Amino acid sequence: MGNSDNAYTREYAVNLDKLDELAPYRQEFYVKEGSIYFDGNSLGLLSKRAEQTLLRLLDSWKHFGIDGWTQGENPWFYLSESLGKSLAPLVGGSPEEVIATGSTTVNLHQLVSTFYNPEGKKTKILADELNFPSDIYALKSQLTLKGYDPSEHLIEVKSFDGHTLNEEDIINEMKEDIALIVLPSVLYRSGQILDMKRLTAEAHKRNILIGFDLCHSVGSIPHHLSDWDVDFAFWCNYKHLNGGPGGVGGLFVNKKHFGQHPGLAGWFSSRKDKQFDMDHTLTPAEDASAFQVGTPHVLSLAPLIGSLSIFEEVGMEKIRAKSLKLTQYLMDLIEHELADYELTIQNPKEDHCRGGHIYLEHPEAARICKALKEEKIIPDYRTPNGIRLAPVALYNTFEEVWDCVQILKTIMKEERYLKFKNEREVVA
């Protein structure tokens, strides 16, 4: 971001904030005074708009009772579809291809149960060894349900360095016995962005369906799922999209697959005009709505209404541009200030393959995270020795980045972390 000594001063950081056109949006969020929140890649902060839309939704329940399903500002019966339209630009899908529903793992189960159709030699699922554990649990479960041994039919691409994946290695594993591929868009640990467009094209050359877990990319980087011809995707909305703890997730299904019966059919899989016919034969919706299962969690959808209005207002291009500047500045400061303390940057440094957080490694990572928290800096620990720091474009500042590095330098220099046990808390 800058090579002069001036680039490493607080004044430089303050000036970057003065030039930041997104700076006013910090006021939209409940930012705790005296604390630096760098864990938005795990749980985004509450915005005032999200709070208001939740309260208004509660009020519609109070005012309308059961008629809230079809009346009021945001009728509940259509809320998942309405939010799907708001989510669509963030993933590069058409409105009918996106729905706000379920949770990450429930949506993965739905999509794999729909699109994993083993036949002949094509019986295996391709994933990777760095994926988030719950995705692997779900894939193993789906294989078992279909009568296959996960130890033989789940192929996990190996990492050459324990942090990132080589896309050539992924492509080389796209063999004739692979029926389905499920990969992360951004690796949760290292923040590496996979080339979804390239991997999708390579999968389709081999007649393999492919889907992506967007949990660590949605709201952080732009996507073009429809243009890339991705078959399906799924994600949570509580990280970069600030939808609230345990908030409802989202999924994308390419329109070319419309008409395919959902693997996990349920009450809200139905076409809206047929749902209350009470027919025991399902007439699935003719778009992504068909991949809903049960009744939407209305109160958990409500914060998204307000949160997504901010993303619509700002646009992903501006969010991504600031995010890259924040993480680049953080890396520059770490390399300049912390070179003597065994803190290793393990995320990709190139803009095109770096997500919205940086990943540091240190043998005493658990202790260091506790020491940071004592100084009112909120990081994210990942076993066994990872520290994730996520300066978020909508509410974090360059001055906070500077302060974080200076405090971390003091912690390392004075070995303040030694008074803590080097083990994770129950929730890391």
Q: How far is Cα 238 from Cα 235, in angstroms, rounded to an integer?
A: 9
Give the per-residue pLDDT at 3: 56
Of 360, 307, 393, which is closest to residue 41 (Cα–Cα)?
A: 393
- Asked if residues 104 and 134 have their Cβ atoms less than 8 Å apart, the reply is yes
Amino acid at 333: L
Q: Which residue ranges are tagged as binding site for pyridoxal 5'-phosphate?
A: 104-105, 132-135, 213, 216, 238, 267, 295
Give the per-residue pLDDT at 1: 55
Whether the model clears a pTM of 0.85, i.e. scores above it, the answer is yes
Give the per-residue pLDDT at 4: 66
Angle between helices 298-314 and 79-91 (to 10 degrees): 40
In sequence order, what are the beta bridge partners of 84? Answer: none
Tokens of 256: 């070319």
Question: Any idea which residue has 């540091």 for tokens?
Answer: 360
Give residues with Cβ within 8 angstroms of 142, minimum separation 6: 109, 112, 113, 116, 125
Which CATH number describes the domain made up of 51-313? 3.40.640.10
- Asked if residues 335 and 361 have their Cβ atoms less than 8 Å apart, the reply is no
Give the per-residue pLDDT at 2: 53
- Asked if residues 178 and 207 have their Cβ atoms less than 8 Å apart, the reply is no
Give the per-residue pLDDT at 422: 81
Give the per-residue pLDDT at 296: 95
For strand 377-378 and strand 358-361, is the pairing parallel, antiparallel, or unpaired?
unpaired
SS3 annotation, the chain: CCCCHHHHCHHHHHHHHHCCCCHHHHHHECCCCCCEECECCCCCCCEHHHHHHHHHHHHHHHHHHHHHHCCCCCCHHHHHHHHHHHHHHHHCCCHHHEEECCCHHHHHHHHHHHHCCCECCECEEEEECCCCHHHHHHHHHHHHHCCCCHHHHEEEECCCCCCCCCHHHHHHCCCCCEEEEEEECECCCCCEECCHHHHHHHHHHCCCEEEEECCCCCCCCCCCHHHHCCCEEEECCCCCCCCCCCCCCEEEECHHHCCCCCCCCCHHHECCCCHHHCCCCCCECCCHHHHCCCCCCHHHHHHHHHHHHHHHHHCHHHHHHHHHHHHHHHHHHHHHHCCCCCCEECCCCCHHHECCCEEEECCCHHHHHHHHHHCCEECEEECCCEEEEECCCCCCCHHHHHHHHHHHHHHHHCCHHHHCCCCCCCCC
**For the chain, domain boundaries:** 5-30+316-419, 51-313
CATH number of this structure's domain 5-30+316-419, picked from the four choices 3.40.50.720, 3.90.1300.10, 3.40.50.1000, 3.90.1150.10: 3.90.1150.10
- Asked if residues 104 and 294 have their Cβ atoms less than 8 Å apart, the reply is no
**pLDDT tens per residue across all 428 residues of the chain:** 555 678 899 999 999 999 999 999 999 999 999 999 999 999 999 999 999 999 999 999 999 999 999 999 999 999 999 999 999 999 999 999 999 999 999 999 999 999 999 999 999 999 999 999 999 999 999 999 999 999 999 999 999 999 999 999 999 999 999 999 999 999 999 999 999 999 999 999 999 999 999 999 999 999 999 999 999 999 999 999 999 999 999 999 999 999 999 999 999 999 999 999 999 999 999 999 999 999 999 999 999 999 999 999 999 999 999 999 999 999 999 999 999 999 999 999 999 999 999 999 999 999 999 999 999 999 999 989 999 999 999 999 999 999 999 999 999 999 999 999 888 777 76
Render the burial of 292-302: b for 16+ CB within 10 Å, e for the rest: bbeebbbebbb
Of 233, 260, 249, 396, which is closest to residue 330 (Cα–Cα)?
A: 396
- Asked if residues 338 and 408 have their Cβ atoms less than 8 Å apart, the reply is yes
What is the distance of C-alpha 50 from the center of its chain?
18
What is the distance of C-alpha 272 from the center of its chain?
29
Question: Following CA atoms 89, 93, 99, 101 in sequence, which dihedral angle do they give, to the nearest 10 degrees?
Answer: -80
The order of strands in the sheet holding 386-389 is: 344-345, 358-361, 386-389, 380-382
